[in-house]
Structure 1
Amino acid sequence: MIEQLHEVIHKIEQEWPAKRLLVLGDVMLDKYIWGDVGRISPEAPVPVVRATHQSEQPGGAANVAMNLAKLGAGVVLVGFTGGDADEELLTSGLRVHGIDPAFVACEGFPTVTKTRIVGGRQQMLRLDSENLGKRADGEHERLLARVRQELPSCHAVVLSDYAKGVLEPKLCQAVIAEARKLGIPVLVDPKTADFSRYRGATTICPNLQELSVASREDVHNLEAMLAAGERMVGEFDLEYLTATLSEKGIAVIRPGNRFVAPAVARQVFDVSGAGDTVIAVLALCLASGLGIEPSVQLANIAAGIVVGKVGTVPVEKHELLAALAPDIALHAEDKVLTREELMRRVAVWRASGERVVFTNGCFDLLHVGHITVLEQSRRLGDRLIVAINSDASVSCLKGPSRPVVSENDRARVLAALAAVDAVVIFGEATPLEVILAARPDVIVKGGDYNEDTVVGAKEVKSWGGKVAIVPIVEGHSTTRLIERSIAG
């Protein structure tokens, strides 16, 4: 279970959309040729892929930017391109998702492109188009000028190194120094064995193989690598080292202190881009002021989602929140929402294709009749919203002696029920404003109501929803409980 869940949910839903991050690194275009494999070639012992369609996707540092954008952040992406048709494809693909490309085109250097041939769900072959030669003098200074222009408006920096010639030591040190002056965290996804070029960053995020090469320790000797990681923190003036340990999870390493967040078990189809997802989530967490321990727990969950996809496909915000749903269900406080929070939560549910059900009432002294209506309501969809009258609203309806239980306590008790996914308090005479905000697929009422007497019925039917009347359990009511308590 993730630590500080309430704070994590708050930051994802409310703070991440206000953040802007700068990604500097090796931008690429990932091309895919998709097809079916039905036989082996008679010309050579290789499978024959019958192509069915093609697609393009931003890759490398551009995939980090895509992950950040899909998680709701604003992004500026800085890197080298070739001033060619592949750059145009990459730029258009980024702008569709609200990413600001700040590219420097270099003559004689094509936009780095990787073409993957996929048969079924299996990658068969990859073709790379790139020039790894040394760029002309002044090109890296042009990159640095773009970074300096954008940096003051950003909340975190990601250096995404794919060893394609962007992140030279001088540029890395200049960017890290500028960011430190502004108090902006810098996260590095390394590809070189020499971590000294990243000196002064907030954290470096190597995988097992990268940590093994940098530490010169056997990849199978985890203890030796982690001990070397502790030494690196001091040697390279880091706050901590963040190492992804494959199926073992993610480790946060400080001198004399280690924290390991276990990996989330998932069926793995393709690990491409999983590291980009991890560093994107960590960067957003640090940009939002979240501690590193809950941040790596969240990054683990995100990585578990992305490895279940084929290709470098970013994790989306609604997928991340959906993956947290089992934990949210065990924390009642995370299901009691303001109206604005409810609208954001409903947007996540809709993005996941879930059917939203709505019911309302006072729910003063919760009893078996209430429980029955709530359980029947939940069966009509995937998510159940319960809107409850505020204390003032209950007093207007029931008299000055009511409610017996305060609105906050009523909300918390209802939120603890497994059938309930969200509770919102309304102070108006009816829940119509909440209904219009949430736009549920189904409105449920219990008892002797009919569609003509249900508040919001006309509205919900206008957008294609429906009204359901469920029977109540006879002999159970809050009024009777109170009368019995007074008489007894």
Structure 2
Amino acid sequence: MTSPQPLVVVGDVLLDHDIAGVAGRLTPDGPAPVVDVTTDLCHPGGAGLAAVLAARSGREVVLVTALGEDAASQSVRDGLRGRVRLVELPLDGTLPVKTRVLAGGRPLVRIDRGGGEVGPATGAVREALAGARAVLVADYGRGTAEAVRPMLAEAAHRVPLVWDPHPRGGAPVPGARLVTPNAAEAAALSPDEGDSLGAHARRGAELAERWAAASVAVTLGDRGVLLARARSTAPMLVPAPYRAAGDPCGAGDCFAALAAAALADGALPEEAVQQAVAGAAAFVAAGGAGDPALWEGPAAGADPRADDDVFALAEAVRARGGTVVATGGCFDLLHAGHVGLLDSARRIGDCLIVCVNSDDSLRRLKGPGRPLTPLEDRMRVLAALGSVDAVVAFEEDTPAVLLHSLRPDVWVKGGDYSAEDLPEASVLRAWGGQAVVLPYLDGRSTSRLARRAAHAATVGSGESG
């Protein structure tokens, strides 16, 4: 449930400029590739990207950052309009612009220009932080966090504060709930030979003690995230749910934003990290910060629906030639059979979308007394699984109407019947999709679990009487 208090993001905004294309030849005057441009995209980066990602769930997000009067600053304002609420600090100079030239999805060169001096914090900044439910500091070492530092130190004693550090920036304020350096940043801040999990664990624990932070999450790319605490010798490793093939630019901002959002909703750091790891993997798989759907989707404050993100994800995966896999069911009591099916389904393609019967749809299908678990809880549990990229509900007796809009490449069901017997098979054929059946763990079913629980309750009641 979205908190009525906003999530406040404090940090340095950049303008990200991505020029992407195909390089199939070299220039005649030197061994340099010629890039035939296919896309040219500008969008807010740094703290601006983190704020947009935090706002995608529909929560109110306030972004405290420094902007000037230059063209890049105005471009950022335009990109953030309707998505987050801006509280500006003055910027004497120009906003940093980071330009990447990519060929075949791989960066060839990066060009950085611009920069300026951040002015003093205003009363509007203090007011925004005073009303925050949680705070995320996206520190790129360009002055915003330092300008607001005394206010951030006070906020850390009241609400969860996540600090995404940078070697060029200052140390996190004491009392941060979670600090999120990547492996290279942690190594620069706390030198320790080697790239082993043990070395990362020692760095994380040492940094947590140095910064007086409740926990430090060292992000390790495809290996996942190592969550460490001061003087702890047993860190928690949260592996990535799958190897996401996509542009990793912005993955750290996504991880920090999702962790802060989870803490704002009352999650423990361990829960927040698990949710953020799964969300960051889906972000990379969908194309990362360069995914056009991220900037074309519904803006904050425009009554966005979770469904919109589902369709945007499917479209983004299709746009880059990936395979969209979908499955459906009631999932009234999630059990080992469901988990095995979902794990297998995710390995078929590049994203897995789960279509769930609404409470009324499930009741019509299963009869009185159902559902045992309300729709909101069923969707939340499914979304927490590492194999699941998105969850969407449907009100009809079958998902046929939803599938016509979603248009997955593969529809998966578990059971002992043939794919041609599935009612969805004819629906999928309309756009060249394929229905498949995967093996199901024998003896696992929601109905059987419910009967067993009811029998146990009856026996227990008889014995106690």
Q: What is residue 224 of structure 1 aligned with on the other side?
A: 199
Query: Tell me, what secondary structure is at the counterpart of 2:289?
Result: coil
Matches within 5 A, 1:288-299: 288-299=265-276
Contact 2:255 2:276 in 1 (8 A): yes
Query: Tell me, what secondary structure is at the counterpart of 1:15?
Result: coil
Contact 1:357 1:382 in 2 (8 A): yes
How far does residue 106 in structure 1 lie from its aligned partner after superposition? 2.4
**CA distance in structure 1 between the partners assigned to 2:75 and 2:328 by the alignment:** 44
Structure whose alpha-carbon radius of gyration is higher: 1
**CA distance in structure 1 between the partners assigned to 2:226 and 2:252 by the alignment:** 14
Q: Does 1:385 align with 2:348?
A: no
Q: Does 1:406 align with 2:369?
A: yes
Q: What is residue 148 of structure 1 aligned with on the other side?
A: 126
**CA distance in structure 2 between the partners assigned to 1:79 and 1:344 by the alignment:** 28
Equivalent residue letter for 1:15: T
How far does residue 222 in structure 1 lie from its aligned partner after superposition? 3.7
Q: What is residue 212 of structure 1 aligned with on the other side?
A: 187
**CA distance in structure 2 between the partners assigned to 1:82 and 1:158 by the alignment:** 22
**CA distance in structure 2 between the partners assigned to 1:76 and 1:404 by the alignment:** 45
**CA distance in structure 1 between the partners assigned to 2:145 and 2:354 by the alignment:** 47
Equivalent residue letter for 2:193: D
Equivalent residue letter for 2:152: I
Give TM-score, length-normalised by structure 2: 0.64
Q: What is residue 115 of structure 1 aligned with on the other side?
A: 99
Matches within 5 A, 1:15-414: 15=2, 18=4, 20-96=6-82, 98-107=83-92, 109-131=93-115, 135=117, 139-141=118-120, 143=121, 145-168=123-146, 171-172=148-149, 174-181=150-157, 183-192=158-167, 196-254=171-229, 255-256=231-232, 257-310=234-287, 312-313=289-290, 383=355, 385=357, 406-408=369-371
Contact 1:209 1:219 in 2 (8 A): no
**CA distance in structure 1 between the partners assigned to 2:370 and 2:287 by the alignment:** 47
Contact 1:356 1:385 in 2 (8 A): no
Matches within 5 A, 1:426-445: 440=401
**CA distance in structure 2 between the partners assigned to 1:382 and 1:171 by the alignment:** 42
Unaligned runs of 5+ in 2: 295-303, 315-323, 331-352, 383-390, 405-465
**CA distance in structure 2 between the partners assigned to 1:66 and 1:194 by the alignment:** 22
**CA distance in structure 1 between the partners assigned to 2:181 and 2:194 by the alignment:** 12
Q: What is residue 386 of structure 2 aligned with on the other side?
A: none
How far does residue 193 in structure 1 lie from its aligned partner after superposition? 7.0
**CA distance in structure 2 between the partners assigned to 1:260 and 1:359 by the alignment:** 31
**Deviations along 1:63-115, whole A, 9 cap, x unmatched?**
1111112232211112222311111111011014x2112223323x1111112
Cα distance 1:299–1:40, how it changes in 2: closer, same or farther (>3 A)? same
Cα distance 1:265–1:150, how it changes in 2: closer, same or farther (>3 A)? same
Cα distance 1:125–1:290, how it changes in 2: closer, same or farther (>3 A)? same
Q: Percent identity?
A: 26
Using the TM superposition, name which of 244-253 and 279-288 deviates more: 244-253
How far does residue 229 in structure 1 lie from its aligned partner after superposition? 2.4
Cα distance 1:189–1:356, how it changes in 2: closer, same or farther (>3 A)? closer
Give TM-score, length-normalised by structure 1: 0.61
Contact 1:357 1:385 in 2 (8 A): no
Corresponding residue pairs, total: 348
Contact 1:266 1:305 in 2 (8 A): no
Contact 1:35 1:53 in 2 (8 A): yes
**Deviations along 1:188-244, whole A, 9 cap, x unmatched?**
111127864533322211111111111121242442342242233233221111111
Contact 1:388 1:423 in 2 (8 A): no
How far does residue 38 in structure 1 lie from its aligned partner after superposition? 2.5
